[in-house]
Amino acid sequence: MNPSPSIEPIPYLSDNQVSFDTLRLDQIHPIVSGNKWYKLRYYIQGAIKSQATTIASFGGPYSNHLVALAYTAQLNGFKSIGYVRSNESEPVTPTIQEAKAYGMEIIYLGRTHFHEKKDALMPMIGNVYHKTYYINEGAYSPLGANGASTMITDWEINQKNKLHQYDYIICAVGTGTMIAGIINAVAKHQKIIGIPVLKNEGTIHTEITELLDDKNANFILLHQFHQGGYAKTTPEQIEFMNRLWEHASIPTDIVYTGKVFYAVEQLMHANYFNPNSKVLIIHSGGLQGNRSLEKGVLAFD
């Protein structure tokens, strides 16, 4: 575990008026990549304290969260169960194969009515039920948001509040757990921008607000950069991801980080950021989604 991931400048995106850096959370661990470790940390502590024997959670067939949980559970002596938004008749993805290799039992819930089935199976988030400790999809809950806050607070303690220099902090948004944790941790003057990766996600603002310490805290969601919806991509996004790798050696994924970095480039060209601003892009790690692409599509594959 690398407790102090680097902040790297991105000259390729920067110009004379606005500078862009990225917090490389993808560097903290090769498997429990990026924000996953932070979001899971208090859940693991809770499972230990509750004397659970099994940890269960939910996710899709290319879920970074499930792989991270499978590895972390095994490391801490727990069994794990992954309830997957897929069908048993479908090909087993490399992601699910990896989760199984770390000892996770996979149970397929199908693609229809997944959330209703999830709610029925998850009676007590963050509590033990028949020795099983349940974690919501993407670690969504105040506990997950508190863990996500530590990606900011831990770094600031180690680096003496250098994150306060940034005018904008921008990140991808899935369940909203990470951005809620960031909002709870940053200074009042900082503008927080989220790039939702789901199309027509009308409830996400409310779901984020429910996790905030200050329900009136300001944040911005820019919904136009989803590239067609969750796990969808476009040739333009793929071209950008390869270009970013060529110029900055930053690997990104089609589901989350590729979208947020691509959004930043478009916002920069549109003069969205105030002159003389400093912008921090959160690289939240996790490249599982790229496994759905054919070999050779990405230059860093």
Within this chain, do residues 211 and 93 fall inside the same structural domain, yes or no?
no
The CATH number assigned to the domain holding 132 equals 3.40.50.1100
β partners of residue 279: 20, 168
Q: Is the dihedral of CA 218, 224, 227, 231 positive or negative?
A: positive
- Residue 115: alpha-carbon gap to chain centroid: 19
* pLDDT score at 115: 85
pTM recorded for the entire structure: 0.94
Rounded to 5 degrees, φ, ψ at 40 are -90, -15
In a domain, 262, yes or no: yes
Within this chain, do residues 59 and 169 fall inside the same structural domain, yes or no?
no
Helices marked H in the chain: 35-49, 64-75, 94-101, 114-121, 142-159, 177-185, 204-209, 235-248, 257-269
Are the CB atoms for 38 and 150 separated by under 8 Å? yes
Rounded to 5 degrees, φ, ψ at 283 are -90, 100
In a domain, 287, yes or no: yes
* pLDDT score at 125: 55
Within this chain, do residues 117 and 219 fall inside the same structural domain, yes or no?
no
Within this chain, do residues 19 and 53 fall inside the same structural domain, yes or no?
no
In a domain, 176, yes or no: yes
Q: Which amino acid is at 29?
A: H
Within this chain, do residues 16 and 58 fall inside the same structural domain, yes or no?
no
Within this chain, do residues 284 and 151 fall inside the same structural domain, yes or no?
yes
Domain edge (last residue) among 139, 157, 192? 139
In a domain, 298, yes or no: no
Within this chain, do residues 113 and 184 fall inside the same structural domain, yes or no?
no
Domain edge (last residue) among 100, 116, 139? 139
- Residue 14: alpha-carbon gap to chain centroid: 24
Within this chain, do residues 40 and 15 fall inside the same structural domain, yes or no?
no
Within this chain, do residues 129 and 99 fall inside the same structural domain, yes or no?
yes
* Sheet of strand 220-221: strand arrangement: 7-9, 18-24, 277-283, 168-173, 191-196, 220-221
Domain edge (last residue) among 105, 123, 139? 139
β partners of residue 94: none
- Nearest alpha-carbon partner for 122 in 106, 114, 96, 173: 114
Instruction: Report which secondary-structure segment, H or E, holds 108.
Output: strand 104-108
In a domain, 276, yes or no: yes
Query: In which domain, by residue range, is 190 found?
Result: 7-31+147-292
- Residue 127: alpha-carbon gap to chain centroid: 23
* pLDDT score at 121: 80
Total count of domains within the chain: 2
- Nearest alpha-carbon partner for 173 in 218, 230, 244, 242: 230
* pLDDT score at 168: 98
Within this chain, do residues 209 and 111 fall inside the same structural domain, yes or no?
no
In a domain, 198, yes or no: yes
* pLDDT score at 124: 58
In a domain, 217, yes or no: yes
pLDDT beneath 50: ranges in the chain = none
Within this chain, do residues 189 and 239 fall inside the same structural domain, yes or no?
yes
Within this chain, do residues 17 and 84 fall inside the same structural domain, yes or no?
no
Q: Which single residue is written with the structure tokens 């859940």? A: 43
CA distance 265 to 243: 11
